[in-house]
Structure 1
Amino acid sequence: MPVIHWIYPTNEKSNYYLDTTNGDTEVSPQQLFNDIRQSRSEVDRWVLGTGFRQMRPGDAIWVYASTPYQYICALAQAIDIDFDGDFWHASLVWNLDATQRLMRDPIPRSMFGQIAQRAAVRANQHTAEVLDDWLTTQQLTLPDLDSEPDPREDTRLRTLRTIVQRQGQHAFRQRLLDAYGGRCAVTGERAVEVLEAAHIDGYMGPHSNLVTNGLLLRADLHTLFDLHLIGVDREGKLVVSQGLAGSSYAKLHGKRLSLPSRAQEQPSKSRLAAHLRLLR
């Protein structure tokens, strides 16, 4: 799949913004590069004001230094998109080779023409062609994270992406533990070690980690929920598949779940209904 290009402007509305003559708190291109080079985590999270529903892992993020520079000075690749409850973010891994070259010889806006002011924008056809040509001229390629991994660079990116996802899963579970008072929604089990965060809609990236898209379930019930052998009806009662007839789980059929008291933390009824329609 072709890499999708995004232009991320750096200005007073962005995480980074560039040197002007009226202050000393702005971040210059060289300071930005030093931050990138010295990043210990290897992953930076930049706020996304727009584009978060279209951006995908593997997309190229070109840093556009706006006024007074008006040039592209750095290149990263998104490895995940997430929502922390307040803001959307892109988790970025920097391409140091490309960024070093761009810092020495940036791509001026006069070459690609597209204007980006306050938020990341998807490159139009002309801009994408200019950026593709630049990569070709520089003999650089960007890995497709949805394809078979290259044994070198792709593996590192996939490893970092897995770490970001795992960290997001931990936060998702903690939010559900808080919302459900540390008890399984079905059994009331309090042993935290066996309680898991179950997605109602399957995991499709960190944007799936919403409390309303989750249930706190004992590990065995989580497995049955994922296998569509149990579900939840619109009255909040457990529905057990006929495939479990005769098992100890059949006794749980019709049991009302203990859900969060706050309406904004309760599971989505429409998502539960869609899940229930797949009951085996």
Structure 2
Amino acid sequence: MSADMKCWLVMQGATFEEEFQGNFLWAPHHNEAGNCMFYWSNMRRLRPGDIVLSYVNLHIRAISVVQRLPMDAPKPPSWKSKAPNWSNIGWQAKLDYEKIDPIDLRPLWPTLVERSQKKYSAFNTQRVSGNQGYLYELTPEAADVILGKVTGNFDSDRAEGDIAAGTDQATLTKIRIGQAAFRAKLLELWGHKCCVTGCEKLELLRASHIVPWATARTSERIDPYNGLPLAANYDIAFDRHFISFDETGRILKSPRIEWRELSKLGVIETATLSRLDDRHAPYLARHRELTKDA
């Protein structure tokens, strides 16, 4: 997950279809005793652009993107009989949902438990079952485990630079989900670290396309071999075609910049990729051509 986007898991169960059809989440302010549970008050922490995974019977059934800040709203009418002990006013968030091929979490459970926070985790450590509650924040590591299993077409024919230019909401949601899935698969491929520096701080890593999104074919945009997980300083130089990498993974620089300028960014002349796969080769060859001609 990128540093500016959180991923959440919502335990929906019997409420899934209604929330899916209505494109919302809702949680009460408190119960009849006046207590507010942390998994309800987490609703206040949702921000536009956050990813939400819908958990239903040990499967992720949908992925959604938060559209706006949560607001106070009355309890959905059909919930009054289901949850009479909840307050009549709660927090509601507007989401844009996409149903997906269900992801079975059971084979992933040990990894999810290991990569989750110890306190306030969504995943029961004693048995394969979600903890009782509603909305849980996922660690970036746990989110990437799930998002790496997403299948389906979440791409768009729009280029990355066109996203803000009047993109319709359904397309924007597909793009954001597709990018999150691409990042997760890329990080898994490289062991969740920068492929040059070895940095493991996920908030500092960027999922950089080798062949830019704008010029890549649809299948190439979501291919993890068309990507490198790079620390931010290497990412900006790679993205702007000031650097590339040769067939062995050794760094190359563009004629447009000198090593002394790159070194000021911490980009060094001896840098190499930690490993390469044959499937990276055609993408890197195209990137080198763009770097040479930029």
Same fold (TM over 0.5): no
Larger radius of gyration: 1
TM-score, structure 1 as length reference = 0.43
